[in-house]
Chain A
Amino acid sequence: MKKTNTSVLSTVVSGAIAATMICSAQAATDGQVKLGILADMGGTYADICGSGCVIAAEMAIEDFGGSVLGKPIEMVSADSQLKPDVASAIARKWVEDEGVDTIGGLVSSAVSGAVSKVNADSKNITLISGSASNSFTTKACNPYNVHWTYNVVALANGTVKPMVQAGKKKWFFITADYSFGHALEGMASKVINENGGEVLGNVRAPLGTTDFSSYILQAQASGADVVALANAGNDTVNALKAAAEFGLTEQMDVAGLLVFTPNAQAMDPATAGGMRLTSGFYWDMDDETRKWSKRFEQRHGAIPSMIHAGVYSVTTHYLNAVKTAGTDDSDIVMKTMKETKPSDFFARNATLRPDGRMIHDMLYVEIKKKEERKDKNDIYKIIKVIPGNEAYSPMLPQCNFS
Chain B
Amino acid sequence: MATLFDINLFALFGQLLVGLINGSFYALLSLGLAIIFGLLKIINFAQGAMYMLGAFIALLALKYMGINYWFALILVPLTVGLIGILMERFLIRPIANEDHLYSLLLTFGLALIIQGVFTHAFGSSGLSYAVPDALKGGTKLPFMYLPNYRAWIIIVSVLVCAGTWWMIEKTKLGAYLRAGTENPQLMQAFGINVPLIVTLTFGFGVALAGFAGVMAAPIYSVSPDMGSNILITVFAIVVIGGMGSIGGAIITGLGMGVVEGLTKYFYPEASNTVIFLVMVIVLLLKPAGLFGKEA
Contact = CB atoms under 8 A, between A and B. Distances in A.
A213 B128 contact: no
Interface in B113-155: 116, 119, 123-128, 130-131, 138, 144-145, 147, 149-150
B216 to A, nearest CB: 8
A260 to B, nearest CB: 8
Interface in B1-27: 8, 11, 14-15, 18-19, 21-22
Contacts of B14: 217, 221
Contact of B124 (A46, A246, A247, A268): A46
B271 interface: yes
Interface stretch (A57-65, A155-163, A236-244): A236-244
A210 B128 contact: no
B124 A44 contact: yes
Nearest to A202: B268
B272 interface: yes
Chain A: interface size category: 35 or more
Given A205-B271, A247-B138, A262-B125, A217 B119 contact: no
Interface string B196-240: 000000000000000000000001110101100110000000000
A242 B125 contact: no
Contacts of A204: 268-269
Contacts of A265: 125
B11 A221 contact: yes
Nearest to A261: B125
B282 to A, nearest CB: 22
B265 interface: yes
Contacts of B21: 213
B77 interface: no
Interface in A36-87: 42-48, 50
A209 B221 contact: no
Nearest to A206: B272
Nearest to A177: B269
A382 interface: no
B265 A214 contact: yes
A263 B125 contact: yes
B126 A234 contact: yes
A213 B18 contact: yes
Contacts of B226: 210
Nearest to A203: B268
B264 interface: yes
Nearest to B233: A210
A266 to B, nearest CB: 5
A237 B11 contact: no
Nearest to B128: A268
Interface string A234-274: 10011001100111000000000000101101111000000
Contact of A214 (B18, B125, B131, B269): B18
A214 B229 contact: no
B180 interface: no
A218 B266 CA distance: 11
A48 B124 CA distance: 9
A99 interface: no
B8 A221 contact: yes
B146 to A, nearest CB: 8
A120 interface: no
Nearest to A265: B125
A208 interface: yes
B150 A213 contact: yes
B81 interface: no
A42 B219 contact: no
Contacts of A206: 268-269, 271-272
A99 B29 CA distance: 50
A215 interface: yes
B54 interface: no
Given A206-B269, A214-B18, A245-B149, 4 more contacts: A46-B123, A220-B145, A234-B221, A241-B221
Interface of A: 42-48, 50, 177, 203-206, 208-211, 213-215, 217-218, 220-221, 233-234, 237-238, 241-242, 245-247, 260, 262-263, 265-268, 302
12 contacts: A205-B271, A213-B22, A214-B19, A214-B268, A217-B15, A218-B11, A234-B124, A237-B221, A238-B221, A245-B150, A245-B219, A265-B125
